Amino acid sequence: MRRIVADYPLVITALLLSAFGIAMVYSAGQTDTPTAVARVYKSQLMWLFFGMAGAYGISRSSVRFIEWVTVPAYVLSILLLAATLVIGAGAGTAASTKSWLAIGGVRIGQPSELAKLTVVLMLAHLLASRKDAPKSLLDLWQPAIIVLIPFIIIMLQPDLGTAIVFIGIFFGMLYWSGVPWPLLMLLGSPVVSLILSFSTGMWGAWFLVLLALILYYRPYLVEGIILLAANIATGVVAPILWEKLAPYQQNRLKVFLDPSADPRASGYHVIQSKIAIGSGGVTGQGFTLGTQKRLAFLPEQHTDFIFAVLGEELGFLGVTVALTLFLVLFLRITQISGRANDSFSSLVAFGLLASWFVHVLVNVGMTLNLMPITGIPLPFFSYGGSFMLACWLAVGVLMRISGEGRGKAAFKAS
């Protein structure tokens, strides 16, 4: 194993985000009526150290080793996910779902966190093994299955937010592997059809756009028919799916459109979150001093809505610093992908980027009601041991990839 030079921009940015995040978790615990949240920063700190140790370990291993464990790890994560359906437990905002694995009543983690990682690895493994990027929809059945298995299990838990992350990973990695834009759009069309089916007029318009796209891209006849059939099918099943959604999920979607529709219950979260962020102003109310948080108006202040605490206490300046750190991290990962030594490494790096990007976009967007409330945590910030560990293991993978990658040049086509 060769010794590598640590990727300082990556590690330092991740460390800064973690330190910032733990400071916010600490602040989130500082309420007028003390709760158990007051102590969680300590365990978060502990998980950070575990995570950093794990990252160091991974950075000392090899990308080949990682690729070697990919398939067993993927299978293991699917098995664990499946187990949640039988013996899963709920927690936090998603108390009614079964996303946790518990042994003897002690929750030991969310298998979906592991699955995010293994799906990235598995997809990278599969796409890297191909000679060319998938050029037709039929070519995509393998990657689709890799994502669909965990996706369906997670939808059954049900955990809508995490499921969205898998879609992000899927599209992100297909894009990076060179799948052309129009194909991605056609692939995504049934989802659009699903959303637009609530308005007949909108759905009709979408169908015309879709026809135009198909004519422009000219897929195989079978594909074209499957596509149209899929769009019609999702349009038809959408209302049925809506009925199948748990009431809290229906409410979350309704509230996304109009928070005042249910100001005391589902809308409460997002209203209070917006008030917290808005009242922070430019410089914020001061670290640990946010009143929305301190007086318990802000729900889930240490997990889903930790960014609202940041906005309230550190203001627009704090928000700018946090988002800039994320941007720096993401740009760095983009560079790592770009100059990775091989296509597997490159795809893994980009998959991790896609995953984190969706997390940040949905979580931060949710605090301002730009996104529906889905309970996706904010990387490095939201309290949660397995998530912090997973984030740092990912950092470790990225460190390794970065170390194995070459200077500024891109690698040769494999």
Partner 1 sequence: MSFHPNDIARRTRITSVGLAVGFVLLLSAFFRAQVLQSESYQRQSEENRLREIPLPAPRGIIYDRKGQIIAENLPAYSVSITAPSLDSLRHSLSQLQQTLQLSDYDINAAIRRYNRAPTRPTVVLADASIDVVSVLEEHRIDYPRLIIQSVPKRFYPEGSIVASFVGYTGEISEKELNLEEFAGYKPGQTIGKGGLEKQYESVLRGQEGQRFDEVDARGRPVTGAGPRPDKDPVGAPSMKTNIDLDLQKYAAAIFTDSLQFSGGLIAIDPKTGGVLTLYSHPSFDSNRFTGGIPAAYWKELQEDPRRPLFNKVIQGTYPPASTWKLATAAMGLELGLVQMNQRMPLPCTGGFQYGRRYFRCWKTTGHGSLTLAGAVTHSCNVYFYQLGLKIGLSKLVGGGIDMGFDTRSGIDLPNEYRPRFPTRDVREYFNRRFGANWSNAETLSMAIGQGPNSQTLANLTKFYTALANEGVASTPEVVSKKPEQKKIMNLTKEQYAGLRLAMAGVTTAGGTAASANIQGLVIAGKTGTAQNPPNKDHAWFIGFAPAEDPKIVVGVFLEYGEHGYFAARVASKIIGRYLGFTGEATVNLEGQ
Are the C-beta atoms of residues 128 and 97 closer than 8 Å to each other?
no
Out of 99, 231, 249, 343, point to the residue binding partner 1 (CB under 8 A). 343
The Cα–Cα gap between 124 and 142 comes to 12
Site membership for partner 1, residue 311 (CB under 8 A): yes
Both tokens of 191, joined, read: 């989802």
Mask: binding to partner 1, 190-229, rule CB under 8 A, as x and -?
----------------------------------------
The Cα–Cα gap between 375 and 362 comes to 9
Nearer to partner 1, 150 or 172 (CB): 172
Q: Shortest CA distance to 140 belongs to which of 148, 217, 166? A: 148
Which residues are within 8 A (CB) of 295 and not within 5 positions of it... i.e. 6 or more apart? Answer: 31, 32
Site membership for partner 1, residue 411 (CB under 8 A): yes
Both tokens of 141, joined, read: 């059945």
How many beta carbons lie within 10 A of that of residue 83, not counting itself?
A: 14
Q: Shortest CA distance to 5 belongs to which of 59, 51, 55, 67? A: 59
Q: Which of the stretches 87-95, 101-109, 111-119, 308-316 binds partner 1 when contact is defined by CB under 8 A?
A: 308-316
Q: Which of the stretches 82-90, 93-101, 145-153, 360-368 binds partner 1 when contact is defined by CB under 8 A?
A: 360-368
Measure the CA angle with vertex 40, ends 42 and 34; round to 5°. Answer: 120
How many beta carbons lie within 10 A of that of residue 95, not counting itself?
A: 10
Both tokens of 304, joined, read: 């889903």
Site membership for partner 1, residue 323 (CB under 8 A): yes
Q: Please, which of residues 100-129 interact with partner 1 by CB under 8 A?
A: 127-128
Q: Please, which of residues 129-148 interact with partner 1 by CB under 8 A?
A: 130-133
Provide, rounded to whole angstroms, the least separation between the CB of residue 11 and partner 1: 20
Mask: binding to partner 1, 163-182, rule CB under 8 A, as x and -?
------------xxxx----
Out of 15, 191, 211, 368, point to the residue binding partner 1 (CB under 8 A). 368
Which residues of the shown chain bind partner 1 in the complex (CB under 8 A)?
32-33, 127-128, 130-133, 175-178, 264, 272, 274-282, 291-292, 295-297, 311, 315-316, 319-320, 323-324, 326-327, 330-331, 334-335, 337-338, 343, 346, 350, 353, 357, 361, 364-365, 368, 370, 409-414
